[in-house]
Chains A and B, each alone.
Chain A
């Protein structure tokens, strides 16, 4: 059974960099699929942040592109999110997902809450 688990600081100061890691178990991320990050601000809907393919190719939401980096660490079977210059608007629950691409995101982590505050 494939499982994803997010980890990282729950509190980040404004203007600093948010860093999260997703640890994958039950599947080797280098074998296939796309691996992505989705966020959900409090009381709001879902927003795609970006994705990394098993090849290492990355895609980011255009409005976040200048601040986002997603990378793979195949040795640890993990992928990571870095979001720089954060503001209160980046406060959200952050989910990592396995993306079946046209067939949807079939495995989700439990989510981790990140609050941007001084």
Chain B
């Protein structure tokens, strides 16, 4: 299985901050990397697919980059509704996909 490792696991930030979350794959996955946002008690939502493509309906302050084994999710200016847990997911081995362990983003 391809292992996905996110860092940090926990992040405290303020409204208006620029935030970056990193996801590393245990082997090269080209750009087969997706990002999800999960709010407490809710289902995850797809934010970014294919490493850098913004899912329809996702705010433009979210962006993704990277290829190979290292990827980043950036929120350009944190909004109150962005405080949530974020997961990366590799689709290189689809359908046998795997997720990162999650990054919990909380208000400072």
- A interface list, Cβ under 8 A from B: 34, 36, 45-48, 50-51, 59, 61-62, 95, 99-106, 108-111
Contact = CB atoms under 8 A, between A and B. Distances in A.
Interface in B64-108: 87, 89, 91-92, 94-102
B34 A103 contact: yes
A108 B45 contact: yes
Chain B residues touching A, majority SS: loop
Given A45-B87, A46-B87, A105 B96 contact: no
B54 to A, nearest CB: 12
A102 B94 contact: yes
A90 to B, nearest CB: 18
Contacts of B23: none
| B-side interface size class | 20 to 34
Contacts of A106: 46, 49, 55
Pairs of residues from A and B, 3 with the lowest C-beta to C-beta distance, nearest first: A104-B34, A108-B43, A51-B95
B43 A104 contact: no
Contacts of B91: 101-104
Interface of B: 1, 32, 34, 36, 42-46, 49-50, 53, 55, 87, 89, 91-92, 94-102
Contacts of B89: 46, 104-105
Given A103-B49, A104-B55, A105-B89, 4 more contacts: A45-B100, A46-B102, A61-B96, A99-B95
B43 A101 contact: no
